Chain A
Amino acid sequence: MLSFRTVKRLLPALLGVVFFLLMGAASLAALLRYSELHSWLGYLQQPYLWRVVRFSLWQALLSSSISLLIAIPVASCLIHRQFYGRSALLQLFSVSMVVPTIVAILGLVVVYGRTGWLNQLFGVQVPLYGLVGILLAHVFFNMPLAVRLLLQGYDLIPSGQWRQASQLGFSRWAAFRWIEWHYMKKVLPGAFVLIFMLCFSSFAVVLSLGGGPKYSTLEVAIYQALRFDFDLNKASFLALLQVSICTLFAVIVYRIAPVNRQDVSLLAVKSYIIKDSFWAKSADFLALFCAFVLVIPPFLAIFDPIFSPVFLNTLQSVALWSAVLVSLKIAVPAALVSLLLGVSFGVLARFCMARQYFAFLPSKIEHLGNMILMVPGLVIATGLFLTLRDFGWGLRSSYWIVVWVNAVMALPFVLRALMPVMYQQERRFRNIYLSLGIQSWARWRLEWPLIRSSVAQAFGYALLLSLGDMGVIALFGSQGLVSLPLYLFQLIGSYQLEEGACVAVVLISLCLILFYCSSRFIGGVMVRVKN
């Protein structure tokens, strides 16, 4: 079945996955040790709890549906049309989902708030605090993510199909119906589950835009139980509830998802012209307009305070630059760990692919990595803290907990970016690699030019997510451990809004620079393969 040499070759990957599992198990065990099961029945009878659950589900369902409904036509438009600013828009989409939540919230408030742009320019009042605000923020974050996920589905379409569509004179609608929709169906359930879970366990958005106990999610309730009551029992009950609901939902959606039929030909994508029409133009315009209106203004609003005199003063403060340093000290190691974990998962999953005894494993491995979305980061962090406290590490471990939890939280995104291309490489070239005996490093060297842009994307995501994290750091932040988002949060908390806006600009600039560096230096210049 498996030779010793094969196992040895897979050892680093196996170690990565096993370590991930052990850490997860340890923190869950620690949490359960501190919980009193007999009191859980009482929680179940509280109407407050059920209101929170209902609202969590409802807003997540709305957010993910709206995001996908807008994303589908936008993705199709981006594939078919070349227009000025197209690649800039794509770049913006790739960062908008990892824009630090707290910064985006600031942007949304500047645009839609009581004294915001919308009210000043058009006199339109938006009830920002409540469901509308939560939806606006979630669509702002997740519609671009949905577009990028769908575009990955488009990558699966063999160029031969476009070639045929071009010669047969398909209209845009026919191309969508017969070609695009077929491939979109494969990524839609996954994208829906991902976005649903992100919204379901949304924390910072609901905390700051929920505007009261009426609009609270389970995640916020967990935070309150931990931070204000230090009630481990209640927190682990809520966490378990959250995990069960998310798991249930994931199982249902994966059940009804269509089977992923694999197509053999995967040639380098080359654009073929599809017949255009007035209706196609109008639909594209409408889709792009929606995308622009939802995504661009909050971005611009973030950069508004550059012209205020407070900006220069804030730039000179020591607290700001030590926060930058702390953020970097957390984000870079977290992103590296996340990437290592992602590669471990990827290598193991694709090794199992289409191998008799292991063929069922790849999807399981992928689910394992995504499972973190169902487990609130706050809970893992608390569990880990309790475990390490048992070893006598106490508060000294805070930094490492923050790094690890950030790395683990970014893992689903790393996997999303890495897996498709790793699978594709395996499918196309497994036999060649096998017959030539190319393994491990030799294989990585050969694959690197083809996968590096995906690796860069994965690393970039992980970097930005850790950089903008406002969950774990909110729980563990202390005197020496104040990251930029936490500093920003503190400034907003003490009503220093202008300084806060300046810190937001610094944070987002840092994000842009690091993301650019990641895609430039890891991703390199895209290699064009002759078709």
Chain B
Amino acid sequence: MLKIDLQYDWESFHANYCVDISPGVTTLLGGSGEGKSTLLHLLGGFLAGRGELFFNEESLLSLPAYERPISTLFQSDNLFPQLTVWQNVAIGLSPSLSLNSEQKAKIQWALEKTQLVDKKDRYPQALSGGQAQRVAIARALVRKKPILLLDEPFSALDPALREEMLYLVNEVTLELGLTTLLVSHLPQEASLVGGRVILIEQGCITAHEPVSVLSQIEPHPLFSRYLGVV
């Protein structure tokens, strides 16, 4: 269980997130500039917030980014262009890239899972957008951190590929029992991955419901404005 009670201020933007998130996929919906990414940066430890943050009774707030049980996929810049695909995955296990055979096997497994085995010696420049994000997923897989944060990592991909990636995320989440938070601006993505949805408006969480609310004939009152249905 991820317990969030965080405040953050930046100029005239005041955020106050308060929610308990259970394992499985949760999609964060909300318009641009409402504070979705801010929440992810607070969780990842890239921004310093006030309040409380617990994961399975352990406080995360005072931990630096590299000690939090979290893997993050950003929209871009997930890979080091100076390292090969294999190195980019391996660096998630050992920053010095010195691996034992067990760890190497793990990387092989992750590359197979993300269908990247034949690309393992390529550099990120030689990959398509989808392949690059699959490398980032492979790294998250080998790191085995219980929380996975996704900051619109697939928004630059075409619909079919995006769907494929979301299935992969869903599969991985269920298989490894992760707590996955997916930031999205597309309600369809939430419906695809299932789980629950959270609505963020002006730095506050205004709704936390099962994903089925999005497909109801009579829209949920809180989501109707966001979905554009009057």
Q: Which residues of A contact B (CB under 8 A)?
A: 158-161, 163-171, 173-175, 177-179, 182, 261, 263, 265, 267, 272-273, 275
A487 CA to B59 CA in the complex, in Å?
A: 68
1/0 contact string of B93-114 vs chain A (CB within 8 Å)? 0011100000000000000000
Are A163 and B81 in contact (CB-based, < 8 A)? Answer: no
Q: Which residues of B contact A (CB under 8 A)?
A: 44-46, 64-68, 70-72, 74, 76-78, 80-83, 91-92, 95-97, 125, 143
The residue that B83 contacts in the complex, of A158, A171, A178, with Cβ under 8 A, is A178
A158 CA to B82 CA in the complex, in Å?
A: 12
A161 CA to B80 CA in the complex, in Å?
A: 7
Give the top 4 A-B pairs by smallest Cβ distance, nearest first. Answer: A160-B77, A169-B66, A174-B95, A182-B82
Query: What is the CB-to-nearest-CB distance from A81 to chain B, in angstroms, rounded to a whole number?
Result: 15
Are B95 and A166 in contact (CB-based, < 8 A)? Answer: no
Query: Residue of B at shortest CB range from A185?
Result: B82
The residue that A164 contacts in the complex, of B67, B78, B96, with Cβ under 8 A, is B78
What are 23 A-B contacts defined by CB distance under 8 Å? Answer: A158-B77, A160-B74, A160-B78, A163-B65, A164-B80, A167-B44, A167-B68, A167-B70, A167-B71, A168-B92, A169-B66, A173-B96, A174-B96, A177-B96, A178-B95, A178-B97, A179-B82, A182-B82, A263-B81, A265-B76, A273-B64, A273-B65, A273-B66
List residues of chain B with CB within 8 A of the CB of A174: 91, 95-96
Query: What is the CB-to-nearest-CB distance from B203 to chain A, in angstroms, rounded to a whole number?
Result: 16
A164 CA to B81 CA in the complex, in Å?
A: 12
List residues of chain B with CB within 8 A of the CB of A169: 66-67, 95
Beyond A160-B74, A178-B83, whether A168 also contacts B125 by CB under 8 A is no
Query: Residue of A at shortest CB range from B123?
Result: A261
A170 CA to B95 CA in the complex, in Å?
A: 5
List residues of chain B with CB within 8 A of the CB of A160: 74, 76-78
Are A178 and B91 in contact (CB-based, < 8 A)? Answer: yes
A165 CA to B45 CA in the complex, in Å?
A: 13
The residue that A272 contacts in the complex, of B46, B78, B83, with Cβ under 8 A, is B46
Query: What is the CB-to-nearest-CB distance from B109 to chain A, in angstroms, rounded to a whole number?
Result: 19
Give the residue among A166, A168, A261, A275 with the most B Cβ atoms within 10 A: A168
The residue that A168 contacts in the complex, of B45, B66, B81, B82, with Cβ under 8 A, is B66
Are B80 and A178 in contact (CB-based, < 8 A)? Answer: yes
List residues of chain B with CB within 8 A of the CB of A171: 95-96
Are B81 and A166 in contact (CB-based, < 8 A)? Answer: no
Beyond A178-B91, A272-B46, whether A167 also contacts B77 by CB under 8 A is no
Are B77 and A265 in contact (CB-based, < 8 A)? Answer: yes
List residues of chain B with CB within 8 A of the CB of A265: 76-77
A164 CA to B143 CA in the complex, in Å?
A: 13
Beyond A173-B96, A174-B95, A178-B83, whether A167 also contacts B78 by CB under 8 A is no
A175 CA to B83 CA in the complex, in Å?
A: 13
Query: What is the CB-to-nearest-CB distance from B63 to chain A, in angstroms, rounded to a whole number?
Result: 11
Q: Please classify the interface of chain B as helix (H, G, I), strand (E, B), loop, or mixed, using the class held by over half of its residues.
A: loop
List residues of chain B with CB within 8 A of the CB of A168: 66, 91-92, 95, 143
A263 CA to B81 CA in the complex, in Å?
A: 8
Are A167 and B81 in contact (CB-based, < 8 A)? Answer: no
Query: What is the CB-to-nearest-CB distance from A266 to chain B, in angstroms, rounded to a whole number?
Result: 10
A166 CA to B97 CA in the complex, in Å?
A: 16
Query: Residue of B at shortest CB range from A163?
Result: B46
Query: Residue of A at shortest CB range from B87?
Result: A178
Are B78 and A166 in contact (CB-based, < 8 A)? Answer: no
Are B74 and A179 in contact (CB-based, < 8 A)? Answer: no
A457 CA to B138 CA in the complex, in Å?
A: 44
Query: Residue of B at shortest CB range from A177?
Result: B96
List residues of chain A with CB within 8 A of the CB of B83: 178
A30 CA to B222 CA in the complex, in Å?
A: 84
Query: What is the CB-to-nearest-CB distance from B65 to chain A, in angstroms, rounded to a whole number?
Result: 4
Query: What is the CB-to-nearest-CB distance from A153 to chain B, in angstroms, rounded to a whole number?
Result: 13
List residues of chain B with CB within 8 A of the CB of A178: 80, 82-83, 91, 95, 97
Query: Residue of B at shortest CB range from A270?
Result: B46
A164 CA to B66 CA in the complex, in Å?
A: 9
Query: Residue of A at shortest CB range from B65?
Result: A166
Beyond A179-B80, A261-B125, whether A166 also contacts B64 by CB under 8 A is yes
Are B46 and A166 in contact (CB-based, < 8 A)? Answer: yes
List residues of chain B with CB within 8 A of the CB of A158: 77
A81 CA to B211 CA in the complex, in Å?
A: 45
List residues of chain A with CB within 8 A of the CB of B66: 166-170, 273, 275
List residues of chain A with CB within 8 A of the CB of B91: 168, 174, 178
Query: What is the CB-to-nearest-CB distance from A390 to chain B, in angstroms, rounded to a whole number?
Result: 55
Given A166-B66, A167-B66, A171-B95; 13 other pairs, CB 8 A cutoff? A159-B77, A160-B74, A160-B76, A160-B78, A164-B77, A167-B44, A167-B45, A167-B72, A169-B95, A178-B83, A261-B125, A263-B81, A273-B66
Query: Residue of A at shortest CB range from B124?
Result: A263
Query: Residue of B at shortest CB range from A267?
Result: B77
List residues of chain A with CB within 8 A of the CB of B78: 160, 164
Are B67 and A163 in contact (CB-based, < 8 A)? Answer: no
A196 CA to B217 CA in the complex, in Å?
A: 75
Are A275 and B80 in contact (CB-based, < 8 A)? Answer: no
A166 CA to B74 CA in the complex, in Å?
A: 14
A179 CA to B71 CA in the complex, in Å?
A: 19
Query: What is the CB-to-nearest-CB distance from B146 to chain A, in angstroms, rounded to a whole number?
Result: 14
Query: What is the CB-to-nearest-CB distance from A530 to chain B, in angstroms, rounded to a whole number?
Result: 8
Give the residue among B44, B46, B76 with the most A Cβ atoms within 10 A: B46
Query: What is the CB-to-nearest-CB distance from A354 to chain B, in angstroms, rounded to a whole number?
Result: 16
A170 CA to B64 CA in the complex, in Å?
A: 12
List residues of chain A with CB within 8 A of the CB of B46: 163, 166, 272
A164 CA to B95 CA in the complex, in Å?
A: 11
Query: Residue of B at shortest CB range from A158?
Result: B77
List residues of chain A with CB within 8 A of the CB of B125: 261
Query: Residue of A at shortest CB range from B10?
Result: A530
Query: What is the CB-to-nearest-CB distance from B181 to chain A, in angstroms, rounded to a whole number?
Result: 15
Query: What is the CB-to-nearest-CB distance from A273 to chain B, in angstroms, rounded to a whole number?
Result: 5
Query: What is the CB-to-nearest-CB distance from B107 to chain A, in angstroms, rounded to a whole number?
Result: 14
A197 CA to B139 CA in the complex, in Å?
A: 45
Query: Residue of B at shortest CB range from A181?
Result: B82
List residues of chain A with CB within 8 A of the CB of B44: 167
A159 CA to B143 CA in the complex, in Å?
A: 21
List residues of chain A with CB within 8 A of the CB of B96: 171, 173-174, 177
A416 CA to B72 CA in the complex, in Å?
A: 37
A163 CA to B136 CA in the complex, in Å?
A: 13
Are B80 and A272 in contact (CB-based, < 8 A)? Answer: no
List residues of chain B with CB within 8 A of the CB of A165: 95
Query: Residue of B at shortest CB range from A275?
Result: B66
Give the residue among A159, A164, A267, A273 with the most B Cβ atoms within 10 A: A164
Are A272 and B77 in contact (CB-based, < 8 A)? Answer: no
List residues of chain A with CB within 8 A of the CB of B95: 165, 168-171, 174-175, 178
